[in-house]
Amino acid sequence: MPTTLADEERRAAIADRLDETGGSERWRDWRWQLRHAIRDIPTFEALLGVRFSAHERGRLDATLARFPLSITPYYLSLIDAKDYANDPVFLQAFPRASELEVMPGDMADPLAEDKDSPVAGITHRYPDRVLFQVSNVCSMYCRHCTRKRKVGDRDFIPGRDALKEGLDYIRGTPVVRDVLLSGGDPLMLADGYLDWILSELDAIPHVEIVRIGTRMPVVLPYRITDELVAMLRRHHPLWVNTHFNHPREITASSRRALARLADAGIPLGNQTVLLAGVNDCPRIMRRLVHRLVQNRVRPYYLYQCDMSEGLSHFRTPVGKGMEIIESLIGHTSGLAVPTYVIDAPGGGGKIPVMPQYLISWNTNKVVLRNFEGVITTYKEPDQYRPVFCNRNCEECRLSLRLEGAEEYQALGIERLLADHDDAVSLVPAGNERLGRRSGNGAGEADPAEAGEAEDVPGEG
């Protein structure tokens, strides 16, 4: 999709209107884009040549008072003004009165990120990795943001002292081998500041990889400058995950940004959120994943829309996501198929939900179906000799060759499957039935039978 003359002209018109002193010359300057982000309805109307009724304006103003608006001139220029009401960019960027409708079940912090936070800025949910919020700001406010409660709260970038707390936590927590920089958008930080954070992380021996989650290639691709990329490439192994939701977002500028990152050896992934009216269509998704892999971006996750307050108009049934995944697996390259996940309310983390391909089985055969509807069988081996695993890897014929004694604790379902552990079930804490059985207060489950008390419903 090369940039057409009409695109160029539309951009120039927007640029000059925002900045009479030569906006179109500065269009590709990301700081200019930030300074001229559109934050109010009249500017939006003037730039797109649209007009909202007084009634609509009233409703929009009420929405903006709660959830502010910010859109980069670049991202705004992608909107098709002739059919803006159905435009995927408009729908992701422009407020709607329905954001104020809080539905039963909606939550301010559905993922309980604030609860799983040992120190400010860190969410430590999974055993070996943490989310580190290094920025409170974004160049554009996605209307579907899961952290909507925080959007526009206080636009600030945490100072070094604030971030030191998070860095100290990571330094003092040797199980953390993977750090995800998130926000806000980490690429809102100046190059030098980000360089400092990445250097601090590089110096922590147990941090094996760092990932940056950013929407800049989508909403402000000019942020991906040669200088930024030259800095990032000094911090390998570094991964970048971005957030394209619609094939229309893949423009000549965003493709250049992705190419720069990929040329610097940075593996690129993409996380898409399934959004009603934007991308809830198998054909749109197929086009999107194809455009992504063409640009060396691996579709990583397809997210079911979270139950955050103000997002109900974006939510689709899980069945829609299933239909989309069903239309991808087998039909197209395996590496173009993302994992469809629901981020569990209450902080359970991402749960993959994929179509079922295993139809049945006995001890001899499994019955499978493929994407075409072919039903087939796989015969189990007659010879397989199970090895009892006591986690003594030194004496195992499979030569893992551990360096030193690595402690390894099986967790959750993995623990139920482990030979060396005699847990037979997982029972929620406070299970009444087991409380009655032991007779000494609620939730005192017999450890031999109960394994571990894990799930704590209502905690979240």
Ligand X SMILES: *Cc1c(COP(=O)(O)O)cnc(C)c1O
- Catalytic residue IDs: 125-126, 129, 138, 142, 145, 147, 306, 343, 350
Kindly tell me which of 131 and 288 has the beta carbon lying closer to ligand X. Answer: 131
Strands 122-126, 129-133: pairing kind: antiparallel
Contacting ligand X (CB under 6 A), which of 36, 129, 147, 243?
A: 129
Q: Which stretch binds ligand X (CB under 6 A): 124-132, 216-224, 371-379, 396-404?
A: 124-132
From start to end of 295-440, where are the E strands?
297-303, 339-344, 349-352, 358-361, 365-369, 375-379, 426-427
Kindly tell me which of 196 and 239 has the beta carbon lying closer to ligand X. Answer: 239
Q: Which stretch binds ligand X (CB under 6 A): 63-71, 119-127, 160-168, 371-379?
A: 119-127
Q: What DSSP string describes 364-428?
A: SEEEEE-TTS-EEEEEPPS--------S-GGG-SS----SS-------HHHHHH-TT-----EE-
Q: Which stretch binds ligand X (CB under 6 A): 84-92, 126-134, 315-323, 364-372?
A: 126-134
Residue 131 touching ligand X (CB under 6 A): yes
User: Residue 412, CB half-sphere, CA atoms under 13 Å: how many?
Assistant: 5
Which SS3 state, helix, strand or coil, does residue 373 take? coil
Give the x/- contact pattern for ligand X in 153-192, rule: CB under 6 A: ---------------------------x------------
What minimum distance in Å lies between the beta carbon of 33 and ligand X? Answer: 28
Strand partners, 131: 123, 180
| Residue closest to 430 by CA, chosen among 445, 420, 413 | 445
For residue 71, the 8-state DSSP code is: B
What minimum distance in Å lies between the beta carbon of 50 and ligand X? Answer: 36
Considering only residues 308 to 367 of the shown chain, the ones binding ligand X according to CB under 6 A are: 350
What minimum distance in Å lies between the beta carbon of 379 and ligand X? Answer: 34
Q: Which stretch binds ligand X (CB under 6 A): 66-74, 118-126, 243-251, 402-410?
A: 118-126
| Residue closest to 299 by CA, chosen among 330, 331, 328 | 328
Q: Which stretch binds ligand X (CB under 6 A): 102-110, 121-129, 169-177, 245-253?
A: 121-129
> Phi/psi at 352 (nearest 5 deg)?
-70, 135
User: In the chain, how many H helices and how many E strands?
Assistant: 17, 14
Strand partners, 212: 181, 240
Q: Which stretch binds ligand X (CB under 6 A): 123-131, 354-362, 369-377, 396-404?
A: 123-131
> Phi/psi at 302 (nearest 5 deg)?
-110, 115
How many CB atoms sit inside 10 A of residue 418's CB? 16
Kindly tell me which of 282 and 348 has the beta carbon lying closer to ligand X. Answer: 348
| Residue closest to 113 by CA, chosen among 125, 129, 105, 127 | 125
Which tokens belong to 149?
């409660």
Residue 279 touching ligand X (CB under 6 A): no
Number of residues that bind ligand X (CB under 6 A): 7
What minimum distance in Å lies between the beta carbon of 163 and ligand X? Answer: 17
Residue 93 touching ligand X (CB under 6 A): no
Residue 123 touching ligand X (CB under 6 A): yes
What minimum distance in Å lies between the beta carbon of 269 and ligand X? Answer: 9
Kindly tell me which of 15 and 207 has the beta carbon lying closer to ligand X. Answer: 207
| Size of the chain in residues | 460
Which tokens belong to 456?
């704590």
Kindly tell me which of 126 and 196 has the beta carbon lying closer to ligand X. Answer: 126
Residue 212 touching ligand X (CB under 6 A): no
Contacting ligand X (CB under 6 A), which of 17, 43, 100, 126?
A: 126
Q: Are 264 and 240 in contact (CB under 8 A)?
A: no
What minimum distance in Å lies between the beta carbon of 175 and ligand X? Answer: 13
Peptide bond into 237 cis (omega under 30): yes
What minimum distance in Å lies between the beta carbon of 123 and ligand X? Answer: 4
| Residue closest to 217 by CA, chosen among 277, 291, 276 | 291
Which tokens belong to 206?
């147990």
Contacting ligand X (CB under 6 A), which of 26, 36, 125, 148?
A: 125
What minimum distance in Å lies between the beta carbon of 350 and ligand X? Answer: 5
Residues contributing to the site for ligand X (CB under 6 A): 123, 125-126, 129, 131, 180, 350
